[in-house]
Amino acid sequence: MKIGLEIHVQLPTRSKLFCGCSTGGDAPNSMVCPVCLGFPGSRPFLNRRALEMGVLITKFLNCKITDRIWFSRKTYFYPDLPKNFQITQYESALGFDGHFMVGEKRIGIWRVHLEEDPGRVKRVGRAGEEVSLIDYNRSGVPLVEIVTAPDLSSPAEARDFLTDLIIELRRLIGVSGEEQTMRVDANISIGEDRVEIKNITGLKNVEKGLKSEVTRQTKLLAVGKRIVRETRHYDESRGVTLPGREKEQEADYGYIGEPDLGTYRIGPLAESMVVPETPLVRAQRMQKEHGISAQAARQIVLTDWELADLFESLSRRVGGDTAMSWTMGPISSGWKVLKANTDGSWKKVTDIVEAVSEGSMSDSEGRLRIAALSGGHEIEGINNGPSTDLDGLIVRLVDQHPEVVKDFKKGNEKAANFLIGQVMKETRGQFASKVIAEKMKRELGKRV
Ligand SMILES: [Zn+2]
């Protein structure tokens, strides 16, 4: 089974791709101008920010960057497209031949390009009396299109790919990550002929749509029928794919170069850009650097970026495994408060974990202290709380256990451990084990 995806992601710019209209706006047709309404004589100009975001994505996806790019008109007639053509990139793209890793698997990226979104047609009214309304607020909204090689081998893998991609893009350029910001066309072939499912919104729907197509094609092949090469769409409510309109051949679009826009040199721009570390790249680095599992690294990074910072700093002081169990345990459960505290609680937390790891503070005291910090206040004087008289308790226990004193007299220092354990149990970790041990040995020493 071979699956390839064409992914359209909305770039989070404030204005549209070829005019100054805002990309926000709720009231239909409130954000429009002669350019995005395609009035004769209006001329587009390129949004620099959108270009930069597109180039950064292309570089992140390890593509070969095209040095000089231009735009093309893709001509077709539909009410959502007032100019009767969409400005896109055809012969030229931002880049080609990249890849993206899903776990250990390398998925080829054929190309990445910029294009504008058309308007939106809404059907309203009762069945039989429906009318179509058009909202041009979407017209000219910047999209980046990412085309993968048919390297995905199951619907679940396609979903994993999209999940990981959106995680990375959210950090890289701040895409909102909502399902609506991503629209997918999926190609799938089980046998020789490939079927395209158009315009799927939402990651779950991509997986479901592909699954239902696998079922349909498998059944047809089982009874010796041929798969028809066609475009279908996924009906969410029925959970099946249905035949769509006849697919135009690329030649039908009559691509021509867009004469109102120039050519742009993006080679130097791409070279000057630094791709920041993205979450999954970071998780992979953390796995190697701190010797933790891939799953743990991913969990920390995806919980919170600053929590991962804390983990890394802890790990350098107390080692990966200890840092991991504290980070995902007591620290992450109170993380919201800890993160919001600007009075250095971050530093206090690392000091506490370090003290526990060195043995100068008991594990349960460390947990209590972190819980207290998460509650926004520190436990004051926990070592000499009025509720427990540590010295008195030790004297009482030593009195009650003359056999331990006897053993200790014989030079068996380990005999003290039993009593130390008793103290810890009774004081429920209020005191560091080191403190208890010192006091206990001193008391036993007196009896020798
Ligand atoms: Zn406009």
What is the structure's pLDDT at 385?
Answer: 42
Residue in the block written with tokens 């991503």: 182
Question: Hunting for tokens 């993968």 — which residue is that?
Answer: 148
Contact 370, 349 (CB under 8 A): yes
What is the chain's Cα-based Rg? 32
| Per-residue pLDDT tens over the stretch 20-38 | 999 987 899 999 999 999 9
pLDDT of the residue at 99: 98
Ligand 1: distance of its center to the CA of 140 in Å?
7
Predicted local confidence at residue 108, as pLDDT: 98
**314-349: b (≥16 Cβ within 10 Å) or e:** bbeebebebbbebbbebbbebbeebeeeeeebbebb
Calculate how far, in angstroms, residue 170's C-alpha sits from the geometric centre of ligand 1.
26
> What spacing in Å lies between the alpha carbon of 139 and ligand 1's midpoint?
8
CA of 203 to the centre of ligand 1 (A): 30
Distance 262 CA to ligand 1 centre (A): 19
Ligand 1 midpoint to CA 79 (Å): 17
Q: How far is the CA of 33 from the centre of ligand 1 (A)?
A: 4
DSSP 11: -
For residue 413, what pLDDT is reported?
79
pLDDT of residue 428: 65
The Å distance, Cα 133 to ligand 1 centre, comes to 19
**Structure confidence at residue 177 (pLDDT):** 63
Q: Give me the pLDDT at residue 318, please.
A: 92
Residue 255 CA, ligand 1 centroid: distance in Å: 23
Domains of the chain plus CATH, in order, are 2-272 (no CATH), 279-380 (no CATH), 390-447 (1.10.10.410)
Distance 215 CA to ligand 1 centre (A): 44
Spatial separation of the C-alpha atoms in residues 329 and 352, rounded to whole Å:
14
CA of 279 to the centre of ligand 1 (A): 35
How many residues in the chain? Answer: 448
* Residue 286 Cα to ligand 1 middle (Å): 45
Gap from CA of 11 to ligand 1 centroid (Å):
16
The confidence score (pLDDT) of residue 384 equals 39
How many Å lie between the centroid of ligand 1 and the Cα of residue 123? 23
Ranges under pLDDT 70 in the chain: 177-180, 245-251, 342, 376-388, 428-430, 448
51 alpha carbon to ligand 1 midpoint, in Å?
17
Query: What pLDDT, on the 0 to 100 scale, is given for residue 378?
Result: 53
Residue 246 confidence (pLDDT): 61
Q: What's the one-letter identity of residue 136?
A: Y
Task: Let me know: does 24 contact 167? Beta carbons within 8 Å.
Answer: no
